[in-house]
A and B are shown apart, each in its own frame.
Chain A
Amino acid sequence: MSDEQFEKLRQELRRGILVLAVLGSLRQPHYGYSLRKQLQDAGLDIDEGTLYPLVRRLADQGLLTSEWQQGEGRERRYYQLSPEGSALLESLSAEWLQLNNHVSKILEAGNETH
Chain B
Amino acid sequence: MKLIDRYMHAVAQALPESRREEITRELRANILDKLEAIAEEKGREPNEEEVSAVLKNLGHPQKVAGSFLTGQQLVSTELFPFYKQTLHYGLILVFILAMIQLGTHLLNSGDLSIANFFFEMIHKSLIMFAAVTGVFYLLSNPVGGKKYFDPYQCWSPEKLPRATQSWQRISTCEQSVEFATDVFFLLLLNYSLWMSSIQLKGLTIIFAEPVTTWIPILSAVVIASIILGIWKLIYRYWTVTTLILDAIVSFATAILLLIISRINPVVVDISKTQEHLDTMQITNKVIEIGLFWVGLFLVFMAGLSLYRAWKLSR
Contacts and interface: CB of A to CB of B under 8 A. Distances in A.
Interface of A: 31-34, 48-50, 52-53, 56-57, 74-77
B65 to A, nearest CB: 10
Interface string B19-52: 0000101110110111001000000000000000
Contacts of B23: 56
23 contacts: A31-B29, A32-B26, A32-B29, A33-B30, A33-B34, A33-B37, A48-B34, A48-B57, A49-B58, A49-B59, A50-B67, A52-B26, A52-B30, A52-B67, A52-B68, A53-B68, A56-B23, A56-B26, A74-B32, A75-B25, A76-B33, A77-B26, A77-B29
Contacts of A52: 26-27, 30, 67-68
Contacts of B112: none
Contacts of A34: 33
A11 to B, nearest CB: 13
Interface of B: 23, 25-27, 29-30, 32-34, 37, 57-59, 63-64, 67-68, 70
A75 B31 CA distance: 12
A51 to B, nearest CB: 9
Nearest to A75: B29
Contacts of A76: 29, 33
A49 B63 CA distance: 9
A34 B29 CA distance: 12
**Which of A31, A50, A52, A75: most chain B Cβ within 10 A?**
A52
Nearest to B68: A53
Contact of A31 (B25, B33, B58, B64): B33
